[in-house]
Chain A
Amino acid sequence: MSQEIQADADLRAADIEAVIVPFRGRNGMLIPLLQKMQERFGYVPPESIGPIAKALDVFPVEIYGILTFYAQFCLEPRGRHTIRVCQGTACYIMGGKDLLDHVQGKLGIQVEQTTPDRRFTLERVACLGCCGMAPVVMVDNDFYGRCTPAKMDEVLELYK
C-alpha cells in the first residue's frame, strides 16, 4: 500500500515538473506558471510550491503572497462544478443578492467553499458582462440568465 502511495506521489511530482519546465529561469513568469499549474490540477497543489520556488529562484513566501493576493488561485481541490453567481451592479439590483443567499442556503456552503461531496464550488463574480440578462449565473461554462431561486433549483439538478 505504501508503495502505491509513493508511486502516486512520484507520478504527481513528475506532472508538476512537466508544468514547470517551460518556465524555468524566466523572469516575470510566476503568475503564468501558477495559472498553468491550476489549469493542470484544478488547484495549485501545495507540494508544487517548493519546486516552483527553485525553478524561478524566488522564496516560497513570495509564491504564497501571490496565491493569496489573486482571487483566481485556489490551494485546495475544487468541486466538480463551479457555480459563479454574478454580483455585478446590474445583477445585484435585479435580485442577485437574494439569489446568492438562496444558493448558499440550498447547498449549505458559503462563497469560496466546496460542498462536502465535491459536487459544487460556489463563487461570486463581479461581472460576467451579460447585464442585459441580469441576474446571471454561470455553472462551469454555461450561462443562465434572468435567474430566480426556483429556476436555480432546476439548473443545479442538471449538474451531478
Chain B
Amino acid sequence: MAALSSHRILICVGTSGVAAGAEKVAAAFQSELERRGLLEKFDIVRTGDRGLFRDVLVDVITPELGRVVYEFIQPEHVAEIVEEHLVHGRPVEKRRAGQDYEAFFKNQTRIVLANCGEIDPEHIEDYRRVGGYQALRKAMDMTPQAVIEEVHKAGLRGRGGAGFSTGQKWRFCREAKGDLKYVICNADEGDPGAFMDRSLLEGDPHAVIEGMIIAGYAIGAREGVIYCRAEYPLAVRRLTLAIEQARREGCLGSNILGCGFDFDVSIMQGAGAFVCGEETALIASIEGRRGTPRVKPPFPAHQGLWGQPTLINNVETFGNIPPILRRGWEWFAAIGTERSRGTKVFALAGQVRNAGLVEVPMGMTLRELIFGAGGGMSKRRIGLKGVQLGGPSGGCVPESLLDTPIDYESITGTGAIMGSGGLIIMDERTCMVDVARYFLSFTVAESCGQCTPCRVGLKRMHEALEEITAGHGTPEHIAFLQEMGETIKSTALCGLGQTAANPVLTTLRYFRHEYDAHVHDKECPAHACKALRHFEVIESACTKCGRCFKACPANAIEWKKGQAARIDLERCTRCQTCYGACDFMAIR
C-alpha cells in the first residue's frame, strides 16, 4: 500500500499551512520528484496542521536518516532539499527546525492531537496504521454499559467549556426513554481565537467519527450529526471524505464490523451564528429554525433533536474517546489532576512567540504553558500584562495569577472559564478596557435577541465602554458596568448571556486602575485607545530626518531641515502614521 512506504515527505496542509503557501511547496516537491524520477520512491503525504501556526513545515522520513524536520519552507527551497537530502542523503542543516520548534513540541503531551500533522487525513489506511478503529472494535466486544463505565472511570469531562462529566452524560442518554436517539458533534467553534476543533477535524477526522460511533453504540443511537461551521470548508471536505471511507470499510452504516449495530453520520453546515454553539440553539438550527436557545430543563439528554434523547459532545471530547478505549481508563486517569483528568488543547495566540495549538496535561500552570511551549513573549523587552482565557465567555487574568494550575475549578476561581481553550497573550501595549469593549461588541452582535438582559443589557454596557474608551467616561459608567454585569450574569437565559459580561467583570476586578486612568486622567495607559492617544516627538531621539513630516496625511507635523519635528495636536487625527514612519522610536 502506497501510504505505508518507508520514504515519506510530510507537508502540513491545513488551513494555516495553506495560508503560508503549503500547497505551492507540495506542488514543488511533486514536480521536483517527477523531474528526478523519485516519485515512485517517496510518498508526498498531505497532513493536517501540526499546531505551530506560522509557516510551512516539511518532514522528510527515510530509513537511513530517520525523521528530519524543516521549517519556513518556500517553493524555492525544495530543489535543494531534494538534491541534498533525498538524493545524496545529506540533510540541509540551515533549514532544519530550530529551538522554537523543539520547545513547542517538547513541552506538550499529545493525545487528541497525536495524529495531527502525522497522518494523511484523507486516507483511512493511514489512520488504521496508527491504531485507528481498534477502539471501535474493542467497544463492540463490550456491552454498552461497560463502554460508559470505561469513559466514566477515565474521568473525562466535556471539552467544550462547561466541563460536565462525559460518562455521566452518556449514562443519562442511555437511561432516557425513547426509541430514537441521536448523537451530535458540536463543531460550531465560534470563539474568536479558538481553532482546535477545526484543526482536529482537518488533521484527524476519523478519530472524531470513531468517537461518535462509540458514543452511538453506548447510548443506543442510530444516527449522528456533525454540526460544523460553514467557515471551515476544508474540515467539511475532509469529514465528508472520511465518512465515505468509513462506510466503505464497514465502520459506519448498517451492521458495523459485523456486530449487528447500525449507525450513520451526516454533516450539517452552520450558517454563521455564534449562539448556535449553545446546545439547544444548535438543535433548533439543525431542525431548520432560527438558532435561539431555550430554557433548560428539559436537557437534550431527555428531549433533544426532534424531541428525542440526544447526546451532544464537543469535537475534542469525541477525539479523546478512541485513545481512552484503546489504552484503558487507568492510563487516561493517570494524566492530569484529581478532578480534571487528561489533557486540554489550548489555542495559544496574541503576543506570544509560538502561536498555535498546544496540548498539555491538566494541572500545568499557565506560566509553564506560556513560557514553555509558548516560548515566552513575542517581543522580549515588552512584559506580559495578562491572558484572556475562554474567549468572549471567559475572562482576563493578570500576570500575578499565572501560577494558577490549569484545571476546571482553579480557572473558574479566577473569574475566567476554561471554555473551549482560547488563550490570548497580551503584553503592555494592550488596553484592557478596549479588550473588554471588543468582546462585548462581539457578543452584542451575536446575541440572539430573545431575552432582555442579553439583548439590551449588553448593548448598554457596550455603550458605556465606548464612552470610556472615547474619553467621555465618568465614575458612574464604571459603577454601572459592575452592576449591570452582575445582573446579566444572573438573569440571562442561556450560556451566552450568562457569561458575556465576564470579560468586563474580570477586567474590572484585575485592571481597575486602567478604567480609572481612562475616566479620571483621560489617559489610556497602553496608548491603544485612539481618542486618548497623544503623540509627541521626543526631541532627544529625533534625528530631524523629516520622515514623519512627509508621512503625515493631516499636515499636523511642523518640520524644517535640521530641525526636530513638532506635532500640532489640534490638527493631529491620531492615525499613527508618523508613529509607523519613524525608525528611531522618537514618536510616542
Contact = CB atoms under 8 A, between A and B. Distances in A.
Given A89-B193, A131-B193, A32 B273 contact: no
B115 interface: no
A134 interface: yes
B272 A131 contact: no
B287 A28 contact: yes
A73 interface: yes
Contact of A133 (B54, B391, B435, B442): B54
A130 B576 CA distance: 26
A107 interface: no
B166 interface: no
A131 B347 contact: yes
Interface stretch (B168-176, B349-357, B494-502): B349-357
B16 A93 contact: no
Contact of B18 (A34, A88, A125, A143): A143
A69 B349 contact: no
A31 B576 contact: no
Contact of B19 (A29, A31, A73, A133): A133
Interface in A4-23: none
B355 A132 contact: yes
Contacts of A87: 192
Interface in B274-312: 274, 285-291, 306
Interface in A66-91: 66, 69-73, 87-90
A130 B422 CA distance: 13
B269 A129 contact: no
The interface size bin for chain B is 35 or more
Given A90-B349, A93-B350, A73 B271 contact: yes
A139 B426 CA distance: 28
A28 B271 contact: no
B53 A130 contact: yes
A35 B269 contact: yes
A65 interface: yes
B271 A71 contact: yes
B268 A66 contact: no
B271 A31 contact: yes
Given A89-B388, A89-B422, A129 B195 contact: yes
Contact of B349 (A34, A71, A134): A134
Interface string A26-54: 01111110110000000000000000000
A141 to B, nearest CB: 8
Nearest to B268: A32
A132 B288 contact: no
B231 interface: yes
A133 B16 contact: yes
Contacts of A72: 230, 270-272
Interface residues of A, number: 38
Nearest to B287: A28
A128 interface: yes
B191 interface: yes
Nearest to A71: B272
B322 to A, nearest CB: 23
Interface in A83-117: 87-90, 92-94, 98
B288 A28 contact: yes
A89 B19 contact: no
Given A98-B576, A129-B16, A131-B53, A71 B350 contact: no
Contact of B16 (A29, A92, A130): A130
B345 to A, nearest CB: 13
Interface string A128-156: 11111110100000011100000000000
B251 interface: no
Contacts of B506: none
A129 B199 contact: yes
B355 A131 contact: yes
B54 A70 contact: no
B27 to A, nearest CB: 15
B312 to A, nearest CB: 16
Nearest to B191: A127
Given A89-B193, A93-B350, A143-B19, A128 B288 contact: no
B195 A66 contact: no
Most buried by A among B15, B230, B288, B306: B288
Contacts of A126: 190, 192, 274, 442
A94 B448 CA distance: 29
Nearest to A146: B54
A69 B285 CA distance: 11
Closest 7 CB pairs of A and B: A132-B53, A143-B19, A129-B195, A131-B349, A71-B272, A132-B355, A70-B271
10 contacts: A31-B268, A32-B268, A35-B269, A35-B271, A88-B192, A127-B194, A129-B232, A131-B355, A132-B354, A134-B349
